[in-house]
Amino acid sequence: MTGLTALVLAGSRPGRDAFAEAHGTDLKPLIPVGGEPMVRRPVLTLLATDGIARVLVVSQQPERIAAVLPADARTAVSASAATIAATLVQLIDDPATQWPLLVTTADHALLTSGMIYDLVTGAAGADVAIGLVGEAALMRRLPDTKRTWIRFRDGGYSGANLFLLRGPQVRPAIEKWRAVEQDRKKGLRLLLSLGPLALVGAVLRLRTLDQTLRTVGRKLGLKLVAVRMSDPLAAVDVDKDADLTLVEQLLRERA
């Protein structure tokens, strides 16, 4: 796949960010990782990856983010909405948006071109592709790591902060996401709206990951695909001090 637009989410949660402040800034994407601002690392990887035509970084403070990014005509920085889903809806509704969109986050400091190729290859034919890492694979690589696992009949998975959105037809999926962002108590109602099989499967883990996505996809009129990443480090982002220490250690090992 060529001509991809990469979207890097570099927003901040409302209020003070104690993690950022502990590292000399009020914006998490500007925390130094291995000697350079966190957001700069995934952007450099995207610019160096074949098939990425442009990189759009969105943030509530775009000027400050732009100041630390490499000078490259393919890179643009713009203001984000209040939430991730609201930002994506804005892009979907903007006729100037160029598709497909590959979405990642500013804290994906270990992002590699290989991870991007994995996602794009696995996304063939999908309206929405979701990068995931299996629990067994990550625990073999990093047995002491602490991650959040979503469990299905075929095992636990952690998100890789990598998504591919094929075109504006994905709006129903993003609207579901936005409903949950606006009121987390709607999570149960979201499952109910997707049908009894999705609800029972989620509660009792009677269904595999792929079965669950097929059910949800049919309800939304979309093809949803889980892409199991071959590199388990795709699940490692920087959310706290322990993550930062681990990521900097892994970057030194790569070097």
Task: Transcribe the chain into DSSP letters.
Answer: --SEEEEEE----SS--HHHHTTT-S-GGGSEETTEETTHHHHHHHHTSTTEEEEEEEESSHHHHHTTS---TTEEEEE--SSHHHHHHHHHH-TT--S-EEEEETT-TT--HHHHHHHHHHTTT-SEEEEEEEHHHHHHH-TT-----EEETTEEEEEEEEEEE-SGGGHHHHHHHHHHHH-GGGHHHHHHHT-HHHHHHHHH--S-HHHHHHHHHHHHTS-EEEEE-SSGGGG---SSHHHHHHHHHHHHHH-
pLDDT in tens, 178-231: 766 655 444 445 444 555 555 555 555 768 889 888 888 888 899 999 999 999
Give residue 185's pLDDT. 47
The arithmetic mean of pLDDT across residues 36-65, rounded, is 97
Give residue 149's pLDDT. 86
Give residue 206's pLDDT. 67
pLDDT in tens, 93-122: 999 999 999 999 999 999 999 999 999 999
Residue % of the chain over a pLDDT of 90: 70
Of residues 149 and 134, the one with the higher pLDDT is 134
Domain ranges across the chain: 4-247
pLDDT in tens, 157-186: 999 999 999 999 999 888 877 766 655 444
Instruction: Provide the pLDDT confidence category of residue 14 given band limits of 50, 70 and 90.
Output: confident
Give residue 85's pLDDT. 87
CATH topology of domain 4-247: Spore Coat Polysaccharide Biosynthesis Protein SpsA; Chain A (3.90.550)
